[in-house]
A and B are shown apart, each in its own frame.
Chain A
Amino acid sequence: MTRELGQPGAPLLSVIVPVSDGERVIGKCLAALAASDLPRTLWELIVVDDGSLDTTAPLAAGWADILIRIPGPPHGPAYARNRGVEASVGSIIVFVDADVCLHPDALRRIAWAFAWRPELGAVFGSYDASPPEPDDLSQYRNLRHYYEHQHEAGPSETFWAAIGAVRREAFGRAGRFDEWHFPRPQIEDIELGYRLRGLGYPILLDPGIQGTHLKRWRLKGIVVADMRDRGVPWIRLQLTLGSSDRPGTLLFRPSEWINSGVVCLAVILFVVAALARSVPIAAAGGVLIVGVLVSNRRLYRFFRRHRGTAFTLRILPIHLLYYFLTGCAAAWAWCLYHLFGPPGPTPIIQAYAESGMKSWPPLPAKAEGSSWLISGASRPPR
């Protein structure tokens, strides 16, 4: 496209919001985007409605420049984001989850991040410290995320698409999101980040790019997210790629591994102590737990500063549960990896793909250069 940036039809940013049954949040998300201090001529807003059965589409139509309607059951955010990118024209693609209210300066910060570092492949931000859902689970989850991203600022080995932007050229070279292997919200953004890094594109975590996370967390959702959708596939991918290829970031910091292992060991000791009626064994488990708590003292000080002592005490068991789930996910992922190797697509996707059927919306396609496919070729399932 030859037009000058900012002229009609030549936006710098294409903001893509995938959403599925998001009537509770989509209006707030899009209203927050509309309050951006980046001139409106510099960005286009594309909402991809992924099979919603509620009033998401008419609500989104009130704000969007382009609304893409994908019929049928949800295909997942990887698929929806890819469809949005296909219809977009901006040279920088910004992904915003439908349950995130971007701060007014977020798009401007993204634009300048790419202006300051022309070699940058992608940049992502952070949730803010003001999650609106008042319950302890939601506060804990969102604040912990804020804490982690604030403390991991700088060059990153992964990407995060809840508030993340990628240069179009880099996105194309990396082969887009892997909609073939990630049919629901999982680690599709992390896996894309690995591919971007593999091509040599720097990725930056800029903690000043922020948004408010509207998500209401429930215990079941945390278990599903930490185990099935995040922990297991991430660890399985890590095993597939080889841990030496990826330096520790976020979940894979050595201290987090150790804490997960220690909590799982403590749980085993508590079970043994209960069966053997042994106080010393139970005490040993208690010592391990205390060690984990002490190693997280900075995080707990952060919680205390933001939400007080009572809140911090209440969320301690939830934090230990997180470590336990991560440990379980690691064990389960290890078993899956050694039994089956890298995962394949769902049987339905596989069957449709083999049929060769062509339609719109298109069938989920293999991402060229997917980490699973590359590693799968060199390391067949055992």
Chain B
Amino acid sequence: MPTNDPDIAEGPARPKVALVIIARRGGEVLTTAVHAVTEVARAFAFEVLALVPAAPGGGPGPGGVSLSVRTISVDPAETEAAWRARALSETAADIVEFVDDATAAVLPWDELAPVRVGLLRMDLDPAGNLGQTLERLGVTRPARSGRGGA
């Protein structure tokens, strides 16, 4: 349900959003991810940061590609949690979304971005049989709890 509130659409009532792309695969995958978010980032004024493990030589190593987003070089010896904390310290955004490069490349950003900034509220349940969907996805049924539990 889109909102018509201009303060949310344009003004101070809109949260600042940062997308932090974690270069797990790097190379072309990272480039594809950046391309996937570029348009929506521009449209919604999202800040985009790429967390890229430093190359063995010491400099940033995005896999031999040039990135049009802010790149943060991180130590490959550190944990991903440390990388994420580093990214958090580098942005003042209200909402920080972390996503790996392979996932960022395929996410429906044009659908997600309006939700993140409050322009769109998700109101509807998906149609179809949830139980069948869970079984198809391999989610096993739990034992039923006693005394009226599920």
Residues of A bordering B, CB below 8 Å: 1, 3, 5-6, 8-10, 12, 38-39, 42, 57-59, 61-70, 86-91, 105, 108-109, 111-118, 123, 150-151, 153-155, 167-169, 172, 204-209, 358-362
Contacts and interface: CB of A to CB of B under 8 A. Distances in A.
B150 A117 contact: yes
Nearest to A210: B145
B84 A87 contact: no
A155 B15 CA distance: 39
B66 interface: no
> Size band of the B side of the interface?
35 or more
A42 to B, nearest CB: 7
A362 B134 contact: no
Interface string B7-41: 10001111110000000000000000000000000
A360 B82 CA distance: 28
A269 B23 CA distance: 71
Contacts of B139: 38-39, 42, 108, 111-112
A360 B108 CA distance: 25
Nearest to A30: B81
Nearest to A64: B98
A167 B123 CA distance: 10
A259 B141 CA distance: 41
Tell me whether chain A's interface is mostly helix, strand or loop, or mixed.
mixed
A61 B85 contact: yes
A205 to B, nearest CB: 7
B141 A112 contact: yes
Given A68-B95, A112-B141, A206-B149, A89 B85 contact: no
Nearest to B106: A8
Contact of A68 (B7, B14, B94, B147): B94
B137 interface: yes
Interface string B111-125: 110011010011111
A57 B103 CA distance: 23
Contacts of A362: 13
B143 interface: yes
Contacts, number: 170
B80 A62 contact: yes
Contacts of A358: 7, 11-13
B133 A5 contact: yes
Contact of A39 (B87, B116, B137): B137
A360 B116 CA distance: 13
A206 B112 contact: no
Interface of B: 7, 11-16, 79-82, 84-85, 87-89, 93-99, 103, 106-108, 111-112, 115-116, 118, 121-126, 129-131, 133-134, 137-150
Given A168-B123, A172-B121, A66 B150 contact: no
Contacts of A205: 149
Given A57-B88, A62-B80, A358-B11, 17 more contacts: A1-B126, A3-B108, A6-B137, A62-B85, A65-B97, A65-B98, A66-B116, A111-B134, A115-B129, A150-B147, A153-B149, A154-B147, A168-B124, A172-B121, A172-B123, A208-B142, A361-B94
B111 A1 contact: yes
B13 A207 contact: no
Nearest to A106: B142
Given A108-B140, A358-B12, A89 B115 contact: yes
Nearest to A151: B147
Contacts of A70: 94
Contacts of B98: 61, 64-67
25 contacts: A1-B122, A6-B133, A8-B107, A12-B130, A39-B137, A39-B139, A86-B121, A108-B140, A111-B130, A118-B130, A123-B150, A153-B147, A153-B148, A154-B149, A169-B124, A172-B121, A172-B123, A206-B149, A206-B150, A208-B142, A208-B143, A208-B145, A358-B7, A360-B16, A361-B94
Nearest to A92: B125
A87 B140 contact: no
A360 B115 contact: no
Ranked 3 nearest A-B pairs via Cβ? A154-B148, A62-B81, A208-B145
